[in-house]
Structure 1
């Protein structure tokens, strides 16, 4: 298509603005770009994972389901762990590393049991027996002292400030590395008796990215005891019989940085010199889970483990049974026991299968992004959009091919996503700018209002025409969101005319229910309705009117389904019941004309609006049709409310109290609701007390006494309580919090 000079200035302005945006992104390196880069590199690892090499001398001794079935629940007595260490040492293990922190005394030990007994004759007799018994921890310490064992500890920001002295000596060449390492003022360490007996102490800390995936692993950290090696590094040291770690930092011999302090360059342990990042971190190239890597602790204790799978090997002991393991996410797997990550780290160190992001990578990516932008933007002016699009696609393909080649062949992480994004942005902005210029000559109509405005809004705008300009005010509003459930399934097989009739028949009574209660319909989004109260005019008692509108919508839905059922029966066709969810919330919102000077709508914005949308989405989660926030429930307390606890929805850090609407004010005063509410409160009290077994039983009882359309809610709660019973949530003030994965 021919481009005239008259149209090019707008194109140049648009592409120049986009080019500045690309430059800013490349220089600022925002977190979103890092997320995109991680996604690309994770994809590369999934496409070409590190093959498992059974010849590497690393194995996992797993406390798995087989071990629990054979020897009982976890944690085991320290005597059994001592037996496990003895058997591994007798079989010739080169190093034994526990991915377990023994921060408390053995609760099963006889001496510990005696201390808890009340005074009396029985205690005197048991004390006499205990006097000749060796405490479990002492037996375990003896086993540890006789074997090359490294124990795990966790560096922390809270907790005890003292720590056992490190077992490994440290030699430093160059700048002091501690200023570049992660620092922790506290540590959770093994009890003193065990720590003194161990030949190694290593940190089990990870350094996950903000999405929780472990891509970088620190080999060193700074704790209250000073420089602390990782558990993997300690295991590698013990296996070689080395006593010292050598840290080479900037400005060491051979590591000249022209006086600048750039961080750690390498860590040497025994015969291995490991190139690391500035913070002494590495990037393992992960491999898939391999059954050959794992030995069951039961097999070792029962003498069934092959000796050649133990002799001369580095063994990591940890829990992998469901519900016990330190579960982490890697680029390959969303759930992997932490003990297996430790083993893969040592495998990467031994095989040299480490990934590296060189210092020059960011600069090269910025240059490539600029060149890609200029190339695509120039092609748009010279050739037809189709050919320039094909050229952009070819360029992006070439960039990703080169990036993957560098990853697979050299272990280099050079990002193709940013240059590709630059090429796509150049094409998108340029093509849109040229298209808009081509369409400008044909545009003969101007944009107008394109939404339904409630009569109350019209009256307010007539009285206050100044509100037709952009901007608005902050007011306390009651906000409503409603949405049809399974609309796609219901609409299957409907013609365009039938679908239009269905939507009109549904939306009309819903709109009437809102307008009859003095609400304003903000917008329709397909089958969804958004409405609000108390703007632009003051609406007295608007929270109550909004709740009444929601009840009217519930009744209208029942009538709508009855009419459809009768119509389907007359026509002799199948009928699928429609259902909806309604969310209600109360709070300050920005309300006014939103948009541009050419087109604007009277609408609302704010966190209250976002939370209302989330509440509507939670209706499906709890299998109810009306949910409200605690603020709205407090403002309209006279209705029949059922407390569902606190939920943390997507996009909010603080939990929100949520309530289901069971009925109107008359029903709230009835004896039937009082009995229902009391049983419900008992169930939620069990939930708040972390007694999920009784809460689940109460939910099951509720299903037998409530109306049929409420059984789904209690079935959902029973399932949630069962999930909490299996995997209890972390303790928090105010009872357990429902965690919402999505809207």
Structure 2
């Protein structure tokens, strides 16, 4: 864009142009029909390429039966078709079966029917058919006569896409066809097709593209000529290509290299909405409504998977190549082109000056909301003006630099405003800290839009931690020592919660700690984070205990309860004091589980929902319990760690315990007692085994009965 031109800016304007093109709704053009060699056609006719007797029939149907006005093949035919088998029969008649005179005579009669190239050439003769060919490094086949030659330019130099070679059609086919055109597609640096080369230079000749050649046949044009209205000798550029025919004349604007921008319509393919597709199989079988093809321009191509004729375009990364030509032909027929006029740079420069001055004067004087609205209006005005020029005037003006200017001025104004509002913002954060957990305040200050204090229901994991025998501890320490004891403990636990696993520290309740995971920052693995933190906290408590005992303080042991489920989270409390916390049945169960750890002699107890949500840990099942306030029993577990971190002996012990617990629930008291007694002998410190041996003794004396569900009911909190 003139003085602001750069690759980065041009790239952004290209992206904007792509989006602008995608926003245009397609309108079906009945003049151009694509005969599609689709999956249906391959199923009915056979794999591609088809024998040319089939293509001969296709041309007969299109030109003869249906009356198509022009037919363009997005296909080339550089090699003879030997699929009839005539060459094999001819060789046999000349050598192995030369002593069979009747065979040679019979072959002479069959030859016309088995000469598929001859049948195809006969079908092409006198028909408005344009064959396609590919530009390549080799030279195969025969080119049509050029549209014009270098000599015809009378000393002017015309720069076009130049090719060293071509893969064209058989001489007999090219001689029979009305013309031919290149279907080679030129992509931009990003692989997207956005323009089409209307003429390519091969040697001294200039040859039309398939789209231009087909449009010329449709218009019954005698010749194509370059228009040097504003010839630039330095760039070798022409303004346009003129097509003059009995059905009208067209002037096609071109840029450097004789390129014209492709105006893509729709998303491509049978459902794209811009062009009607009919199956080649239906054409061959005569199943197409004659009104669809009568007088139409027909392009024969393929969308069948595997035939590799899909192109990346601004409207679709997999766009049928044949439809690229269709879009160019439509633009030629309609004389409707999106162009970048010479004076566009002046318009763009004026736009930048006006918008820049207006915002520079207005934004500093406006309140924040008004500044936002004004910047938004300026942004919308630039986009709207660009869209109007695109739709109403067919101009493709650039606008990224102007949009960037709006954004930069807005940000600068915002930054300036923030400088003055910073102290006010600090006070706001301070007020938040009066009723929100400090860690939440820090996160809100960094990205406040991402979080909300409003109450909501969310799947979370909650943790309750309590010190064992704290009353005894407090009685055995002086107030100063107790304060240091509890401060060291709470600091260590808080650091573990708020550390690498990023829990939210809810509150301290005396010596107890409450925390949760999954809010305000949402974590899909909130249960795994909670379990991992609980194991870390037990390790921290063990280290603290060693330190405390060296000081002569009472030993430290903690119990942790974790539960996962649907909870209510948000800013809750009274008009006097509020806090960001969680509530609900799942929270209450987590609190009950912390108390239950004392009964089973374990450091951590988690609910079944937590175990299911954090399956990467190994767990020891403790029991099925019915806690106070809930009727439904819950399985509870002790997390032991990840499999890779556990000694094989621990896993063996766990397997033996699972078997023993199964015997308990089956009321196999002898088997259960023997299995648990063996575990108790190997691990006498494990209070869980002592508990179950006592329970078995009780159940022997007072059997629970046949309907026993194996659930232990707790009547206290």
Q: Provide TM-score, normalisation by structure 2.
A: 0.55
Per-residue deviation, 1:314: 1.6
**Inter-CA distance 195–384: structure 2 relative to 1 (3 Å threshold):** same
| Structure 2 partner of 1:182 | 161
Per-residue deviation, 1:77: 0.3
- CA distance in 2: counterparts of 1:343 and 1:278, whole angstroms: 22
- CA distance in 2: counterparts of 1:504 and 1:27, whole angstroms: 61
Superposition map of 1:297-696 within 5 A: 297-324=280-307, 326-429=309-412, 431-432=414-415, 435=418, 491-492=523-524, 494=526, 498=530, 501=533, 573-577=611-615
| Structure 2 partner of 1:214 | 193
Q: Which among 116, 124, 128 is matched to residue 148 of structure 1?
A: 128
| Structure 1 partner of 2:23 | 47
Asked if 1 retains the 8 angstrom alpha-carbon contact of 2:52 and 2:117, the reply is: yes
- CA distance in 1: counterparts of 2:257 and 2:535, whole angstroms: 59
Secondary structure of residue in 1 paired with 2:287: coil
Q: Deviations over 1:263-306 (max 9, x none)?
A: 12121212222223233222343322238622221222112223
Per-residue deviation, 1:424: 0.7
- CA distance in 2: counterparts of 1:417 and 1:372, whole angstroms: 13
- CA distance in 2: counterparts of 1:437 and 1:363, whole angstroms: 38
Asked if 1 retains the 8 angstrom alpha-carbon contact of 2:383 and 2:399, the reply is: yes
- CA distance in 2: counterparts of 1:284 and 1:138, whole angstroms: 36
Secondary structure of residue in 1 paired with 2:180: strand
Asked if 1 retains the 8 angstrom alpha-carbon contact of 2:52 and 2:120, the reply is: yes
Asked if 2 retains the 8 angstrom alpha-carbon contact of 1:170 and 1:245, the reply is: no
- CA distance in 2: counterparts of 1:577 and 1:46, whole angstroms: 46
Q: Deviations over 1:651-676 (max 9, x none)?
A: xxxxxxxxxxxxxxxxxxxxxxxxxx
Asked if 2 retains the 8 angstrom alpha-carbon contact of 1:248 and 1:266, the reply is: yes
Asked if 2 retains the 8 angstrom alpha-carbon contact of 1:161 and 1:224, the reply is: no
Per-residue deviation, 1:400: 0.3
Asked if 2 retains the 8 angstrom alpha-carbon contact of 1:49 and 1:285, the reply is: no
Asked if 1 retains the 8 angstrom alpha-carbon contact of 2:36 and 2:303, the reply is: yes
Q: Deviations over 1:210-249 (max 9, x none)?
A: 3333222221111246201011111111123222112102
**Inter-CA distance 290–382: structure 2 relative to 1 (3 Å threshold):** closer
| Structure 2 partner of 1:87 | 61
Q: Deviations over 1:485-512 (max 9, x none)?
A: xx9999337389839938979xx9xxxx
| Structure 2 partner of 1:97 | 72
Per-residue deviation, 1:384: 4.5
Per-residue deviation, 1:79: 0.9
- Greater shift in the superposed pair: 158-167 or 387-396: 158-167
Secondary structure of residue in 1 paired with 2:111: coil
Per-residue deviation, 1:388: 3.1
Q: Deviations over 1:133-188 (max 9, x none)?
A: 243222212222231211111223x2228852425457999786764311111212
- CA distance in 1: counterparts of 2:169 and 2:337, whole angstroms: 31
- CA distance in 2: counterparts of 1:363 and 1:112, whole angstroms: 67
Per-residue deviation, 1:344: 2.5
Per-residue deviation, 1:98: 0.5
Asked if 1 retains the 8 angstrom alpha-carbon contact of 2:237 and 2:257, the reply is: yes
Q: Deviations over 1:430-468 (max 9, x none)?
A: 54467469869999xxxxxxxxxxxxxxxxxxxxxxxxx
**Inter-CA distance 433–79: structure 2 relative to 1 (3 Å threshold):** same
| Structure 2 partner of 1:133 | 111
| Structure 2 partner of 1:106 | 81
- Greater shift in the superposed pair: 413-422 or 210-219: 210-219
Q: How many residues in Structure 1 have an aligned counterpart in Structure 2? A: 446
**Inter-CA distance 184–292: structure 2 relative to 1 (3 Å threshold):** closer
Q: Which runs of 5+ in 2 are unaligned?
A: 267-271, 427-517, 541-603, 618-717
Matched, 1:37 2:13: yes
- CA distance in 2: counterparts of 1:176 and 1:374, whole angstroms: 49
Matched, 1:277 2:252: no
- CA distance in 1: counterparts of 2:535 and 2:352, whole angstroms: 48
Asked if 1 retains the 8 angstrom alpha-carbon contact of 2:264 and 2:327, the reply is: yes
Asked if 1 retains the 8 angstrom alpha-carbon contact of 2:18 and 2:315, the reply is: yes
Secondary structure of residue in 2 paired with 1:264: coil
Asked if 1 retains the 8 angstrom alpha-carbon contact of 2:32 and 2:275, the reply is: no
- CA distance in 2: counterparts of 1:227 and 1:336, whole angstroms: 28
Asked if 1 retains the 8 angstrom alpha-carbon contact of 2:150 and 2:205, the reply is: no
- CA distance in 2: counterparts of 1:114 and 1:429, whole angstroms: 84
**Inter-CA distance 369–113: structure 2 relative to 1 (3 Å threshold):** farther
**Inter-CA distance 490–396: structure 2 relative to 1 (3 Å threshold):** closer
Asked if 2 retains the 8 angstrom alpha-carbon contact of 1:45 and 1:286, the reply is: yes
Superposition map of 1:688-707 within 5 A: none
**Inter-CA distance 133–496: structure 2 relative to 1 (3 Å threshold):** closer
| Structure 2 partner of 1:59 | 33
Q: Which runs of 5+ in 1 are unaligned?
A: 1-24, 250-254, 444-486, 509-565, 580-743
Asked if 2 retains the 8 angstrom alpha-carbon contact of 1:327 and 1:337, the reply is: yes
Q: Deviations over 1:43-100 (max 9, x none)?
A: 222222342232xx32111112222222111111011101111222213222211100
- CA distance in 2: counterparts of 1:386 and 1:172, whole angstroms: 67
| Structure 2 partner of 1:227 | 206
Superposition map of 1:161-180 within 5 A: 164-166=143-145, 168=147, 179-180=158-159
**Inter-CA distance 163–424: structure 2 relative to 1 (3 Å threshold):** farther
| Structure 1 partner of 2:488 | none
- CA distance in 2: counterparts of 1:218 and 1:499, whole angstroms: 65
Per-residue deviation, 1:204: 0.6
Give the superposed CA RMSD. Answer: 4.1
Q: Provide TM-score, normalisation by structure 1.
A: 0.53
- CA distance in 2: counterparts of 1:151 and 1:67, whole angstroms: 20
- CA distance in 1: counterparts of 2:536 and 2:171, whole angstroms: 74
Asked if 2 retains the 8 angstrom alpha-carbon contact of 1:286 and 1:344, the reply is: yes
Per-residue deviation, 1:41: 2.1
Secondary structure of residue in 2 paired with 1:263: coil
| Structure 2 partner of 1:287 | 265
- CA distance in 2: counterparts of 1:415 and 1:349, whole angstroms: 24
Greater C-alpha radius of gyration? 2
- CA distance in 1: counterparts of 2:315 and 2:156, whole angstroms: 31
- CA distance in 2: counterparts of 1:408 and 1:109, whole angstroms: 53
- CA distance in 2: counterparts of 1:383 and 1:372, whole angstroms: 16
Per-residue deviation, 1:206: 2.1
Per-residue deviation, 1:378: 4.0
**Inter-CA distance 229–572: structure 2 relative to 1 (3 Å threshold):** closer
- CA distance in 2: counterparts of 1:319 and 1:58, whole angstroms: 15
Per-residue deviation, 1:575: 2.8
